[in-house]
Every structure is written in structure tokens, then in C-alpha cells.
Copies of this chain bind each other. A is one copy, B any other.
Amino acid sequence: MPDEQGHPSTEEMRLGTVMAALADPLRARVVRELAADEADPERTCASFELGVAKSTVTHHFRVLREAGLVSQVDYGNSRKVRLRRADLQQRFPGLLDLITAEE
């Protein structure tokens, strides 16, 4: 059984925290990549080819998760990441369009 943990609820999300998360180029790239795929597939953290150490990858995904941008589900073997598209659309309407429009 997959295990969820440590995600802020929609109301708990703070715009400032989200902005800070998106201010980093690597994290922005991740979110853009996720937002670009309308099918919203589950992806592993490693599938993003960020070009930094594993522990750094973990760090960035924690920031994204704590900001509420992505959800992480633990399958024991691997951890799958998914964009919280609906939650974001509800809490910060237009934000995702802003991100996908850039670049």
C-alpha cells in the first residue's frame, strides 16, 4: 500500500513559499516539465536528469513537496512524483499557465 506523507493541504499553501520554490531554476524546470504533460504521469525523481547529486535532488523535491507543488507517494522501492495540478488550479488559479508559458 502506497504511503503518503507531509503534504500541505490546499489552504495551508502559501504563495510566498510557492514563489520561493519556483525561484530556483532547477525546481522551476521540474514543475514546467510536469505541467507540460497534460497526462500527469507519475514519475521518479531520477527521471528528470537534473545533473546534480542524489542528495541535492532529494533536497529540491522536498522543497517542492513542502510548498505543495508536487505530491510524493512512497512505493517502498521507488518514490513517485506527481504535479498537484487540480489543487494548484484551485488555490492559485493561473499559476500553472504562467509557468508553462515561460520558455
Contact = CB atoms under 8 A, between A and B. Distances in A.
A68 to B, nearest CB: 13
Output the residue of A15, A93, A97 with the most chain B CB within 10 A: A15
> Majority SS of interface residues in chain A?
helix
Q: Can you tell how many copies of this chain the complex includes?
A: 2
A16 B25 contact: yes
Contacts of A22: 15-16, 19
Interface of A: 14-16, 19-20, 22-23, 25, 28, 92-95, 97-99, 101-102
Given A15-B28, A15-B102, 10 more contacts: A14-B102, A15-B98, A16-B25, A16-B28, A19-B20, A19-B22, A23-B23, A94-B95, A95-B98, A98-B98
